[in-house]
Amino acid sequence: MSSRKITRALISVYKKDNLESIIEALASQKVELISTGGTQEFIEKLGYPVTPVEKLTGYPSIFGGRVKTLHPAVFGGILYRRDDGGDLSQAKEFSISGIDLVMVDLYPFEETVSQGGSTEEIIEKIDIGGISLIRAAAKNFQDVLIVSSRTQYQEALDLLRNKHCSTELEDRQRFATMAFDVTSHYDSAIFQYFNRDAATLSFKSSLMGGRALRYGENPHQKAVFYGNLDELFEQLNGKELSFNNLVDTDAAIHLLNEFPDETAFVIIKHTNACGVATAPSVKEAYLKAFQADTLSAFGGVLATNKPVDLEAAEAMNSLFFEILVAPSFSPEAFELLKTKKNRILLRQLQPVAQGRQVKTLLNGVVEQDHDWKTDTEEDLKVVTERVPTEKEIRSLLLASKICKHTKSNTIVLVQEGQMVASGVGQTSRVDALKQAIEKAKTFGFSLDGAVMASDAFFPFPDCVEIASAEGIKAVIQPGGSIKDQDSIDSCNKNEMSMVFTGYRHFKH
């Protein structure tokens, strides 16, 4: 029979929040309670009888609590098969009584690491008995119900109440699946801690709490987001975030990270910036960013690193856009912007963690550091006779920041705190430059005195020659070509300045 009545329960949890109702439900059905340490004291304070696990095993808790439940009287009671004659005979021979419910909440290993615990504190938060109990009970899901995390308490309570402490096979199997999710995640976190210097080349990553998306990159593709978006954003308005929304928001946030000390505004379309600007106010920064490409901004993702006030909201409200991300919105700005019910407004709660980049590739996975390098004035090596002015240096650094977050091959053109155009994702650098020039002219920009950034070196002087003909006066690039001198000579000939950074910023 698939139905199992719970008559004995072993409960050993780290955190006792919301545990009382479950204890009451079990006690109301005369379930025998077995427990350890703090959980035992908790149950006793509620006034219910509880059997100490030491009475079951004949051993006290030893080695500072490291060994409490690791005993055949406990694990035999969980693992013996109720429909196996041999197991039943052995259970009777060794006086092992069945345990039908196991409840565990593991030591908070990840929390201890994230809170900066000492090595000793972290090691002591590696749960041994608890993880073993979970695996044993989950393995024997045919007979035993396992509740492996306090996040499952409510679901477990509903089950116990609705079925009067009986369970069906499908219930136990569902909870077993969740249990192995808990244990695999826990073990992955421990491995990541021990392998934080990446000495062992083994890829393990675990994220709890998947969220099914409306669809993937296209409507015929299914998609799930794994992670806790609520830690990063508070959604104040609008429809559910889609796959493409998340991808573009990620691009916007990483680009904004380049401007910790300036008021910046970015407009993203298909992960590329179609507008970026810095200015004294959010309104001014938005208008300058929008001016760069008033066509592509339609349906884009907007983001700023400063609070949005009413003036800024009024400036952008007439534009159709998918998302606006900001650290906060004034009450007046929020009231205006939320008038479009599907418009997504996100309040960013914290920066994006500086983790590693992971991508599925062929029959495996590649992992790398994020490109956290931001080119600074100290990185610049002037290689031409003409030295860029201070104003040009500021523009060059802005262009370089944008270039780093744009699909290769790319060229970015900037004038006084404003991206005026970019050429993105081209198969040649010349094509990228021509695309940028054409776009700048389309939206009425003069390139006289503008600066140019390239994500990689110039193998030939052709880009410098084309740029010079348009009035561009300064260039930033990593350098490193065997023909660097040809581009330098072309700059000198055309009275342009060029700086090398020594850092390439490909983005694929």
Please say whether the beta carbons of 293 and 281 come within 8 A: no
Q: Which of 139, 338, 340, 391 is catalytic?
A: 139
**pLDDT, tens digit (0-9, with 9 covering 90-100), for 134-145:** 999 999 999 999
How does residue 203 score in pLDDT terms, banded at 50, 70 and 90?
A: confident
Please say whether the beta carbons of 50 and 35 come within 8 A: yes
Report DSSP letters for 49-109, one per residue.
Answer: --EEHHHHHS---BTTTTBSS-SHHHHHHHHS-TT-HHHHHHHHHTTPPP--EEEEE---H
Question: What phi and psi, each to the nearest 5 degrees, are found at residue 329?
Answer: -130, 135
The tokens for 449 are: 């005195």
Within 257-348, where are the H helices? 282-292, 310-316, 331-337
Question: What phi and psi, each to the nearest 5 degrees, are found at residue 420?
Answer: -100, -20
With residue 433 as reference, give the H or E element that holds it.
helix 429-442
Whether pLDDT at 200 is above 90:
no
- 270 has catalytic annotation: yes
**pLDDT, tens digit (0-9, with 9 covering 90-100), for 228-259:** 899 999 999 999 999 999 999 999 999 999 99
**pLDDT, tens digit (0-9, with 9 covering 90-100), for 11-57:** 999 988 889 999 999 999 999 999 988 899 999 999 999 999 888 88
pLDDT score for 196: 85
Question: What phi and psi, each to the nearest 5 degrees, are found at residue 412?
Answer: -120, 135
Count Cα atoms within 13 angstroms, Cβ side, for 419.
33
Instruction: Return the amino acid letter for 364.
Output: G
For residue 221, give the 3-state DSSP assignment. coil
Instruction: Say what percent of the chain tops pLDDT 70.
Output: 100
Please say whether the beta carbons of 289 and 419 come within 8 A: yes
Strand runs labelled E in 340-442: 344-348, 356-361, 364-369, 381-382, 411-415, 418-423
**Residues in CB range of 23: below 8 A, 6 or more apart:** 11, 33, 43, 46, 48
Q: What is the pTM of this model?
A: 0.85
In which order are the strands placed within the sheet that holds 451-454? Answer: 233-237, 344-348, 323-326, 301-304, 264-269, 272-278, 418-423, 411-415, 451-454, 474-477, 497-500, 381-382
- 164 has catalytic annotation: no
Distance between CA atoms of 299 and 302, rounded to whole angstroms?
A: 9
**pLDDT, tens digit (0-9, with 9 covering 90-100), for 344-402:** 999 999 988 777 889 989 999 998 989 999 999 999 999 999 999 999 999 999 999 99
Whether pLDDT at 219 is above 70:
yes
Distance between CA atoms of 352 and 348, rounded to whole angstroms?
A: 10
Q: Is 392 exposed, middle or buried (0-12, 13-18, 19+ CB in 10 A)?
A: buried
Distance between CA atoms of 429 and 481, rounded to whole angstroms?
A: 14
Query: Tokens 């698939």 belong to which residue?
Result: 2
Whether pLDDT at 205 is above 90:
no
Please say whether the beta carbons of 450 and 396 come within 8 A: no
Give the residues across from 323 on adjacent strands.
301, 344
Whether pLDDT at 273 is above 80:
yes
Prior bond to 363 cis, omega within 30? no
pLDDT score for 144: 96
Instruction: Say what percent of the chain tops pLDDT 90.
Output: 85
pLDDT score for 278: 95
Give the residues across from 363 on adjacent strands.
none
Instruction: Return the amino acid letter for 9.
Output: A
How does residue 202 score in pLDDT terms, banded at 50, 70 and 90?
A: confident
Distance between CA atoms of 156 and 99, rounded to whole angstroms?
A: 16
**pLDDT, tens digit (0-9, with 9 covering 90-100), for 408-439:** 999 999 998 899 999 999 999 999 999 999 99
Distance between CA atoms of 241 and 231, rounded to whole angstroms?
A: 15
Instruction: Return the amino acid letter for 394.
Output: R
The pLDDT mean for the chain works out to 93
Summarize the confidence of residues 105-117 as an average pLDDT: 92
Summarize the confidence of residues 117-128 as an average pLDDT: 93
Distance between CA atoms of 488 and 499, rounded to whole angstroms?
A: 9
**Residues in CB range of 118: below 8 A, 6 or more apart:** none
Distance between CA atoms of 223 and 216, rounded to whole angstroms?
A: 5
Summarize the confidence of residues 313-335 as an average pLDDT: 96
Instruction: Indicate the range of 71-75, 257-261, 334-338, 410-414 predicted with least confidence.
Output: 71-75
Summarize the confidence of residues 480-504 as an average pLDDT: 96
How does residue 1 score in pLDDT terms, banded at 50, 70 and 90?
A: low
pLDDT score for 500: 97
pLDDT score for 340: 94
The tokens for 455 are: 């994500």
Between residues 200 and 335, the one the model is more confident about:
335
CA nearest to 474, candidates 446, 455, 500, 456: 500
Give the residues across from 364 on adjacent strands.
361
pLDDT score for 300: 95
How would you classify the pairing of strands 51-52 and 364-369? unpaired
Rg from Cα positions in the chain: 31
